[in-house]
């Protein structure tokens, strides 16, 4: 997760999720990967593409929150937090 290659991150996450985390913590892994991407690059399209291209069907409150962050950062309206 310490890279900027979205495809590699998705493949790595899929391997971890297959180890029995499908129902319990998969959303946390994806959210953490998105947050890592946000912290490592100014390109906010990377975390968005990870979610949209690989984990669009996954639903949870934490993922909704992390999906909202790039928009808030781009608007620079931190009161929305």
Residue 8 vs residues 4, 12, 14, 16: alpha-carbon distances, Å: 8, 6, 10, 13
Task: Give the pLDDT confidence score for residue 52 in this predicted structure.
Answer: 92
Q: Does a structural domain hold residue 59?
A: yes
What domain count does the chain have?
A: 1
Q: Does a structural domain hold residue 20?
A: yes
Q: Does a structural domain hold residue 1?
A: no
Q: Does a structural domain hold residue 61?
A: yes
Q: Does a structural domain hold residue 75?
A: yes
Q: Does a structural domain hold residue 44?
A: yes
pTM: 0.82
Domain that holds residue 44: 6-80
Contact between 1 and 41 under an 8 Å Cβ cutoff? The reply is no
pLDDT tens digits along 6-65: 899 999 999 988 888 777 789 999 999 999 988 888 888 989 999 999 999 999 999 999
């Amino acid at each position: 997760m310490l890279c900027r290659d979205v495809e590699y991150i998705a493949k790595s996450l899929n391997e971890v999720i297959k180890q029995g985390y499908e129902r319990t913590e998969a959303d946390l892994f994806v959210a953490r990967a998105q947050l890592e991407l946000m912290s490592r690059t100014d390109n906010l399209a990377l975390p968005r593409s990870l979610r949209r291209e690989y984990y669009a069907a996954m639903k949870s409150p934490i993922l909704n929150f992390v999906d909202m962050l790039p928009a808030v950062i781009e608007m620079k309206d931190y009161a929305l937090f």
